[in-house]
Amino acid sequence: MPLPEYVLLDRDGVINADSDAFIKSPDEWRPLPGSLEAIAELTRHGIGVVVISNQSGLARGLFDLDTLKRIHDKMQRMVEAHGGRITTIYFCPHGPGDGCSCRKPRPGLLQAFGRDCQVELRGLPLVGDSLRDIQAARAVGAAPILVKTGKGRQTLADNPDIDVPVFENLHDAVQYLLAG
C-alpha cells in the first residue's frame, strides 16, 4: 500500500494533552510523549501533516484568535525542533450549538482542506481520539484511526464495536501507517 500524501490529525488528545477546562494559553499546550517525533517521522517520509481541530474555546470566550495563534505557533516551533512540519491547520471557532458546517462531526473542515489544497480526501488517514473525529472522517470517505490518548479510551469504552484501527498513541498509529 502506498504511503498517503497527507495525514490528518486532531489536535487536543492526539498531539497534545487534552483538558476538560480547554487549552487556553501556550503554557497549557503540552505535547504528548512521542507525538512530536511521530510528526517528524511523517515529515521525513514526505507526508504532509494537517491539523483538523474543533476550538470551541473561542466561541466560549476562553481565549481569542491571537492566543490561539500563539498556541499554534508554539506547537509549530516544537514540531520543527524535532525535525517535523505541520503543513496547515484548520480549526472550527464555533460552539457546539452554533449549527456550523465545520465543527466535527460535520465534515466542513475536511472539505475545506480538500478544496483549498485540491486533495482527494477518500482514504486519507485521520487520527483522532473521539467519535466525532471518526464520524467526520467517514463523512468524506477518509480512513479514521483512533488513539487511546486524550478521550480515546473513553471513546472506545462507549463504542466497543467501533470498526477502526486503534492504537495506544500517535506514535504507534504513525508506525502502522508507515508500515503500509
The catalytic residues are 10, 12
Cα 119–chain centre separation: 17
In a 3-state reduction of DSSP, which class is residue 155? helix
Grid cell in block for residue 6: 497527507
Going by C-alpha positions, the residue among 136, 74, 78 that lies closest to residue 103 is 136
Reference 130, options 150, 113, 111, 110; nearest CA is 150
